[in-house]
Copies of this chain bind each other. A is one copy, B any other.
Amino acid sequence: MNILFVMYDQLRFDYLSCAGHPHLQTPNFDRVAAMGVRFTNAYVQSPICGASRMSFYTGRYCASHGAQWNGFPLRVGEMTLGDHLRPLGMGCHLIGKTHMKADAAGMARLGLSPDSVICARQAECGFDPWVRDDGLWGQGPDGFYDDRRSPYNEYLKSRGYASDNPWADFANAGVDADGDIASGWMFDNADKPANIAEPDSETPWLTRRAIDFVDQADAPWLAHLSYIKPHWPYIVPAPYHAMYGPRHVPPANRHPVERRDPHPVYGAYMAGRVARAFQRDDVRAKVIPAYMGLVKQCDDQLGVLLDHLETTGRMADTMIVLTSDHGDYLGDHWLGEKDLFHEPSVKIPLIVYDPRPQADATRGTTCDALVEAIDLAPTFVEAAGGTVPDHILEGRSLLPWLHGETPDWRDFVVSEYDYSATPHCETLGLAPRDARLFMVFDGRFKLIHAEGGFRPMLFDLETDPREFHDLAKSGGHAAEIARLYEMLARWGRRLAQRVTRSDAEIVAGRGRSARKGILPFLVDGTEVPADLTARYRGKAPVRPDEPD
């Protein structure tokens, strides 16, 4: 079996028709959902791209892998999907984005040769890059945000898009009435079509690269097809720019009570530039239709890919996973972007299709178990025929759910957010190590703990599914808060770094030192079998003459 692990960037869990969106039709997502299981309570380990992805790729919490913000390198030696899958005979390939930053200092310290395959994989999150393109070719006074080569920009140039950065000038910009660039960075331009032929835009381009991959790949393979969209810049080519308009924009899920005496960290975010932009209805009216167009384009391209899998027979032997690295507030809770722990940010779409007959019983169903992003890595290991190394991978395989079983399962999920790199850390007067949030959610109550001496936040999603009422504001609910803090404490004591010895190895190793002559705490030797002490019995050897 192969695994097609598709990630969209910043795709909200509820912007799919199978998840109930009132206006957006996503028949191809729905098609996979009809063939597989849609997980309705799937959460990321961090609502920020890089940290979240490192958790997907390592199968470990952010506090375990340490790459807690975009651009914080993943420490050398931290095992990723490829390290787990290749020994099982499964290749591990990248088509698109990882947001991985290599630990150049660590690799240099270990003397890893930069041109070796091992080093290339260390630098690419363990993947063999079929296409590596992180999708953000921003360029400013200090140069490119991403200083690697851009296969997508190379493609555009080869197609005649005349610019040193066609990503910026064509794919992510329109043209205004004066013939000037209307950059997709500015929300004012979100309703314009991107100045690019639709087939040349990012999502179709990457889909074709994926089809190229599938057509030549040696099975079994895992391909991580990782789209930059519907991530900002919010601009989409025709005809998608015109498919949705202000009438398709749901009202913002926000309430005045949220702005009254908010938690200081939430308050700082609501006061930030991102939030202020998304608090404007005119911004939402322009941006959300563009976002929906980007999702619609993703869905159409998913259809192209699914058709190709059908035609080539790959649908019968390929597991398909559709997910995202986090959501997008889009103005809900007076916020934009992701970052905090309300559902639009921390909850993700997760649809898994397993082609094998064992999964027939669950096709087209949903599963409301508390799922974490780190569950995919063990799912893949098990799908590849391996035993999950649970001393390294902190998630749990989803295969039992896919196969109609009801496994013992976690009673809470944890997500983390490290905002030390943001201006909010400074605004709040925090040391970088204190700019950290932890979410604990038990399926009903959601506690957010903030380092730095702040009170927690608490939401009851049963009585307040829209998450307006921070119950910790009033100082009440001590018992619930204590209960969730106890869960967080339990999580804090988890076994996360004993990665060089499995439980099975530990059990098998017990008693071995005695068989290698380590015999402390024997009074006279009769306490153990005679063969263990045989080495230490018999005539004493003769001592040499005294040294000078």
Contact = CB atoms under 8 A, between A and B. Distances in A.
Interface of A: 63-69, 71-77, 79, 83, 103, 105-106, 109-112, 116, 118, 122, 136, 138-145, 159-163, 165-166, 168-170, 173-176, 179-183, 185-188, 195-197, 199-200, 232-233, 273-274, 277-278, 280, 283, 336-337, 391, 418, 420-423, 426, 431-433, 436, 438, 449, 451, 485, 488-489, 491-493, 495-501, 503, 506-507, 509-525, 527, 531-547
15 contacts: A63-B496, A69-B506, A109-B118, A112-B112, A140-B518, A162-B544, A168-B517, A169-B541, A181-B536, A188-B524, A274-B521, A277-B523, A418-B498, A449-B493, A489-B492
Given A188-B523, A516-B138, A497 B66 contact: yes
A422 B163 CA distance: 66
A475 B116 CA distance: 60
Contacts of A145: 513, 516-518
A467 B160 CA distance: 80
Contacts of A136: 518
B518 A138 contact: yes
A139 B516 contact: yes
A185 B522 contact: yes
B431 A539 contact: no
A67 B168 contact: no
B520 A232 contact: yes
**Closest 6 interchain pairs by CB?**
A492-B492, A66-B497, A138-B517, A160-B544, A140-B517, A77-B77
**Number of copies of this kind of chain in the complex:** 2
A112 B523 CA distance: 45
B515 A141 contact: yes
B109 A112 contact: no
B420 A503 contact: yes
A393 to B, nearest CB: 13
Contacts of A509: 71, 421
Given A162-B541, A181-B540, 10 more contacts: A105-B500, A160-B545, A162-B542, A180-B537, A195-B543, A199-B547, A337-B520, A420-B506, A426-B510, A497-B497
Nearest to A199: B547
Contacts of A433: 391, 495, 503
A75 B75 CA distance: 12
Given A432-B503, A501-B72, A544 B110 contact: no
Contacts of A69: 501, 506
A391 to B, nearest CB: 8
Given A111-B118, A199-B547, A489-B489, A140 B75 contact: no
Given A232-B520, A510-B422, A515 B140 contact: yes
A532 B140 contact: yes
A138 B106 contact: no
Nearest to A139: B517
Contacts of A65: 497
A506 B540 contact: no
Contacts of A141: 515, 531-532, 534
B541 A187 contact: no
Nearest to A423: B510
A522 B492 contact: no
A109 B83 contact: yes
B173 A536 contact: yes
Given A489-B488, A513-B145, A536-B185, A522 B138 contact: no
Given A195-B543, A509-B421, A516 B73 contact: no
Nearest to A282: B523
